[in-house]
Homo-oligomer: A and B are copies of this chain.
Amino acid sequence: MSSLRSIPTLDDVARAAGVSTATVSRCLNSPDRVIEKTRIKVMAAVEQLGYTPNFGARAMAAKRTFTIGAIIPTMENAIFARGLQAFQEALHARGYTLLVSSSGYKADVEAEQIRALVARGADGLLLIGRDRDPSIYEFLQHRSVATLIAWTFEKGSTQPSIGFDNHAAMKALATAVIGKGHQHIGLISGIIEGNDRAAGRYAGICDALRAHGLDATAMPIIETPYEVENGAAAFADMMQRTPRPTVVMCGNDVLAVGAMKRARDMGLRVPEDVSITGFDDIELARIVTPELTTMHVPHRDMGQRAGEELVNMLEGTSAGSVVELECALKLRASLGPPPA
């Protein structure tokens, strides 16, 4: 906060309430340990003066600011929304406030936001995926900011994280697709560079193809940002390829929903003329007609456990663990056998 503003201090509150600063501090940090009458008196003074527990008071008293930052790639399209909501609820239950930034999938913007959140006093950070400049991890370590990575799991990593194996999950989905008889898969992927989740999903499909004696290098792939319109445009492009894919696998549900919309506009029936699959199982997947075959990511569970783990790290009851969550294949009507 700018020190040029007139800011009421802990002393001011103590004086107004006629108690010691230690009592004010206790009211703010451990209200259970203060009798109600005193607490009411103190909180009335807090309210009246417009006092905000801050770096000079609550933070110093508790060595914490009770603020957690999260930086997500995008606020649009609800990809991260459900997990983040659960994360916030878990933090709230433990007395922490969440501040969120979105980077637009841009590494430099994310780096700037990490610095801003640290400057604003974040005790801990939730970051999505592990691909970023090592200097960022050094900076966070140097500043003692507890950091948890989510949405990704890497075997052997020691970085505290909670996520799922994008590679294995997409391999399982591709195996189901191939099991329906498809040999010509087209992939509409998110931008792979700088996105370990997108890279893992692509590699998972290639693995499944190879395991079935199919040529992964022949698979047509279009990389495009995760937007409905981009999925639609990429689908139209994919339908021009020779041989025409009998199934279009998409890097997430947002792209898949765009592909379905375009298929409908082009007069193609899903799955009779072409099958379409997604990844994430966000709400969209069951809103479209037909419902979307996809890989269910446990967003709520991941967000909630991330919140609890990060608070435990901050409070010293966890050194930061590496947690893998299971995804679940959702076979729905958008996937059928290839057309005869």
Which residues from chain A sit less than 8 Å from chain B, CB to CB? 1-5, 47, 50, 52-56, 59-60, 63-67, 69, 74-78, 81-82, 84-85, 88-89, 92, 97-102, 104, 109, 112-113, 115-121, 123, 135, 138-139, 142-144, 228, 257, 261, 264, 283-284, 286-289
Nearest-neighbor residue (CB-CB) of A47 within chain B: B135
Find chain B residues with CB under 8 A from A264 CB.
Answer: 289
Find chain B residues with CB under 8 A from A288 CB.
Answer: 287-289
Known: A53-B119, A97-B101. A64 touches B286 (CB 8 A): no
Known: A81-B81, A102-B88. A4 touches B60 (CB 8 A): yes
The CA-CA distance from A60 to B288 in the complex, in Å, is 52
| Extra inter-chain contacts (6) besides given A99-B101, A287-B287, CB under 8 Å | A3-B59, A50-B138, A65-B120, A97-B112, A120-B120, A264-B289
Determine if A50 and B143 form an interchain contact, defined as CB atoms under 8 angstroms apart: yes
Nearest-neighbor residue (CB-CB) of A77 within chain B: B78
User: How many identical subunits does the complex contain?
Assistant: 2
Known: A75-B100, A77-B78, A81-B78. A64 touches B287 (CB 8 A): no
Partner of A67, one of B50, B66, B116: B116
The CA-CA distance from A3 to B5 in the complex, in Å, is 19
Determine if B85 and A102 form an interchain contact, defined as CB atoms under 8 angstroms apart: yes
Determine if A119 and B54 form an interchain contact, defined as CB atoms under 8 angstroms apart: yes
Find chain B residues with CB under 8 A from A104 CB.
Answer: 85, 89
Partner of A85, one of B76, B118, B284: B76
Known: A50-B139, A121-B1, A139-B50. A99 touches B102 (CB 8 A): no
Query: Which of A53, A116, A286 gathers most chain B CB within 10 Å?
Result: A116
Known: A64-B2, A88-B102, A116-B97. A283 touches B228 (CB 8 A): yes
Partner of A1, one of B88, B102, B119: B119
Nearest-neighbor residue (CB-CB) of A57 within chain B: B119
Determine if A55 and B52 form an interchain contact, defined as CB atoms under 8 angstroms apart: no
A-B contact pairs, 14 of them (CB 8 A): A2-B55, A2-B121, A3-B55, A5-B144, A50-B143, A52-B115, A52-B118, A65-B119, A65-B120, A76-B78, A88-B101, A99-B117, A99-B120, A261-B287
Find chain B residues with CB under 8 A from A66 CB.
Answer: 116
Determine if B228 and A67 form an interchain contact, defined as CB atoms under 8 angstroms apart: no
The CA-CA distance from A113 to B135 in the complex, in Å, is 31
Find chain B residues with CB under 8 A from A85 CB.
Answer: 74-76, 102, 104
Determine if A143 and B5 form an interchain contact, defined as CB atoms under 8 angstroms apart: yes
The CA-CA distance from A121 to B4 in the complex, in Å, is 12
Known: A78-B81, A283-B228. A65 touches B2 (CB 8 A): yes
Find chain B residues with CB under 8 A from A139 CB.
Answer: 50
Nearest-neighbor residue (CB-CB) of A114 within chain B: B52
The CA-CA distance from A288 to B228 in the complex, in Å, is 13
Query: Which of A63, A99, A284 gathers most chain B CB within 10 Å?
Result: A99
User: How close is A295's CB to chain B, nearest CB, in angstroms?
Assistant: 20
Find chain B residues with CB under 8 A from A59 CB.
Answer: 1-3
User: How close is A225's CB to chain B, nearest CB, in angstroms?
Assistant: 12
User: How close is A94's CB to chain B, nearest CB, in angstroms?
Assistant: 14
Determine if B76 and A81 form an interchain contact, defined as CB atoms under 8 angstroms apart: yes
Find chain B residues with CB under 8 A from A92 CB.
Answer: 109
